[in-house]
Homo-oligomer: A and B are copies of this chain.
């Protein structure tokens, strides 16, 4: 019955700094009917990337074996602030200056002749986890994604909550340790500067620079990487590398403080934690975070009614969520 299913299909795109991932999903159950991946090649500029996004979308649709007219809408998540109402990307530091005020909705809409909607990558990730992932069935949840930075997406009353300037969910820039290390944004003590993968990497590098031994230097050499990926950090942690273990414990502690701050403000049904480290290390990463968080709850009754769980869609959350959001906005 591919035909009837096709009448409710929708496309989602996760536009990242290194790759573009497009999916076609069945709008009734989130099943992925087709997918395509391309390199972003951000250095070629926004117009060239929009063309590549368009190509990935066409390829995903072709892979789904649905007729093109069966596709209802396209949603795109981009790594930076957006103005969803205007359909404009405000800025994408990872993609370059040609994205400042870039009218992506118009550009893609023109190329693909379909309604296009836009949001930032963590918001669509939160929508994905809420609709088809770990947060399924909840009304009020916060998703926190830990990677190079820390971003969040807020679901309230079952809907993405964007805030008056479309910048809700910026949990990475909540101050949790006044006077702490400088954040990429220029201010000090923000969660991102304490609990991101980048913060862990900074701490390990500082320890090594101070003369402490760590197997991380060997792992970097062996893999030929110049950044400490979640996989490298996970391997070093599993091997009991003291420097890594201590840096990760610090980051877990600060992530716990961040979660507690969000819970004391929102008392939501669920906190979903995602990102490479959580995927690589699983509950070993989650447990200490939960413990620290619960210690700082002001309401210590029924602490487990605020579920703290791992994201379940992995790196497909963004594309799937973008598709879901496109459909929701089309209906409005």
Contacts and interface: CB of A to CB of B under 8 A. Distances in A.
8 contacts: A162-B267, A164-B306, A165-B305, A168-B265, A169-B267, A173-B260, A173-B264, A175-B177
Interface string A273-310: 00000000000000000000001111101100110000
Given A165-B299, A265-B265, A299-B81, A177 B178 contact: yes
Interface in A166-204: 166-180, 185, 187, 189-190
A163 interface: yes
A165 to B, nearest CB: 5
B163 A296 contact: no
Interface residues of A, number: 51
A140 interface: yes
A268 interface: yes
Contacts of A266: 154, 161, 163, 168, 265
A260 to B, nearest CB: 6
Contacts of A173: 260, 264, 296-298
A187 B297 CA distance: 9
A235 interface: no
Contact of A261 (B157, B175, B302): B175
Nearest to A152: B265
A190 B263 CA distance: 13
Q: Which 5 A-B pairs have the closest CB atoms?
A: A163-B267, A167-B299, A177-B178, A173-B298, A174-B261
Contact of A267 (B164, B176, B177, B268): B164
B187 A296 contact: yes
B265 A169 contact: yes
Given A173-B296, A176-B178, A254-B178, A167 B267 contact: yes
Contacts of A162: 267
A262 interface: yes
Contacts of A298: 167, 170, 172-173, 185
A264 B178 contact: no
A257 interface: yes
Given A173-B260, A174-B265, 13 more contacts: A154-B265, A156-B156, A163-B268, A164-B268, A168-B265, A173-B298, A174-B261, A176-B178, A177-B189, A178-B178, A187-B295, A261-B261, A265-B266
A297 to B, nearest CB: 8
Contacts of A187: 295-296
Contacts of A172: 298
Contact of A262 (B179, B189, B265, B305): B265
